[in-house]
Amino acid sequence: MKTLGLGVALLSSILSLSAASASFEITYVDEDGAGAFSTTPLTLPDGTTTTLGERRQELIEFTTRAVGLQFKSDIPAKLHIDFGVPEGFGALTIGPFYSEFTEYDEPDDFGVLQVGRRYPSTLWDALVSKNLSGDYEDASVSFSDTFEYAEYSEGHEYPYIVYAAYHELMHVMGFGTTDCLGNCIPEPVSNPSHISGHFYYNDNGTVRNFDDLSIEDKTEAYKSTTDLWFYGSEATTKAVENELVSGHVDGYIYMHSTPHEETGNVDPQGGSHISPLVEPAQLMHSYGALTDDLGMAAYILCDIGWCRNEGRVIEQSVAITLNENESTETEAVIDIEVVDNLDVGVDEWELNLRPENLDVISFMDTEDRCVETSKGYHCTGTLLPSELAAFKLIVTPAEYYEIQGELRSTGYDVDRNGFNNIADVILYAPESEDDPVDPVDPVDPVDPVDPVNDDEPPVIETPTDSSGGGSMAYLLLPLLFITAYRRLNFSIFTNKIVE
């Protein structure tokens, strides 16, 4: 079983990752005794006692660890995180900052950066392997106090806050636009960006490149409901045709472009999310699904620069199980498998394993892909489509076996699911009194009200398969101009739980 228990050393695991994995430097900015530092006692379903603040930090850091395993970057993203989101929102992200790439800027080695386009700080830093932000944060993320932190979402593996954080972190990685259209103050603005070159507008049957449109036509595209499209690489269009049952046409993905339900003007979430018409449900819907599969977002992030024109979308995973059939009274056999789930293969993967306080007898690696380290084992290799790599860890029998570790691609790949790359497990011996108990039924989460209904109190709703993800993208926010920063533009993204 994967664990999110406090016994798992999340921060030490993060620090042990290779520098090539994307990573995050988190600063919690809540006041003492509140938010991430709340001392309110909390009992988890397995009986573990902790505090609400520690649990919040644990879940946020678990999510950032998973996201780090999905991307390649030498430069950590700096995040300010708090739990003081305005009433009516589940989460709010301000950032990342965007800058226009000019002929005077240092080009990247991959030819991704194009003169005249705006790029998010996280992507730009990764492309040039330099921290252009200095000591300033890349983004600020606020979460609601109304999430449940002890219980698990009904029918899902993790608490709600994990999916909300996962959604917001995709915005931090650059899933969004800098457009401010409709009733933007002081005036509508839209400039070519890292993503807009892939946008198209179906203008009454004529498909037009978004960057070539006037402000008026861009505004109409953002209100068109079904006619703002994303078109990517051959791999993306193939995935669209093979995976989606609605919300696409001829390889184009519908992007969120629904008029605001109250004003009828541009919905601020437009362009920065996948259309709600796209099915199966997507993490990057404006009301995102409770899913740990990036779905179409993985292909979009790949196309906008994270694959550096050399990588691809993959989905690899690591599974660790106790082999009861091969185990004896003197030897316990633990099977470890690295699997390609997407049937595309993986050019370069790396697996780090750290047996915790286990009496290791031997490690079986028939392909000589692993070396022993001071903390455990480091394995590398490639996978052909649908291939798996298998290893066996032989240890002295015990009541339970704890292993920590992580799997990642060392190439320029975007992995669709970072959570199944985390190799933290506790395996219990058969008939052990320490076998984990089933979690109790989750408590219904509090559903934040829609921000336009400020006078309505929060209500209790029954959880469904939807969570996380409204969005706003603005160029101007007076609050941020207090901070001197070289980035020219920024985006705001929000996240809500819906019935």
Mean pLDDT of the chain: 84
For residue 133, name the pLDDT band (cuts at 50, 70, 90). confident
What is the pTM (predicted TM-score) of this model?
0.85
Question: Using omega within 30 degrees of 0 as the cis cutoff, is the peptide bond preceding 448 cis?
Answer: no
| Residue 495 pLDDT | 54
Nearest CA among 294, 392, 243 for reference residue 69: 294
Q: What is the pLDDT of residues 404-427, one digit of tens each?
A: 999 999 999 999 999 999 999 999
> Does residue 105 have a pLDDT over 50?
yes
What domains are there in the chain, each with its CATH number? 10-179+448-495 (no CATH), 313-410 (2.60.40.1170)
Range with the poorest average pLDDT among 50-59, 62-71, 128-137, 315-324: 128-137
Kindly state the percentage of the chain with pLDDT values over 90: 70
Angle (nearest 5°) at CA 120 between 115 and 125 = 85
Q: What is the pLDDT of residues 7-45, one digit of tens each?
A: 333 333 333 444 477 999 999 999 999 999 999 999 998
Q: What is the pLDDT of residues 320-352, one digit of tens each?
A: 999 999 999 999 999 999 999 999 999 999 999
Please enumerate in sequence order all residues whose Cβ is within 8 A of that of 481, keeping only pairs 6 or more positions apart, or say none.
none
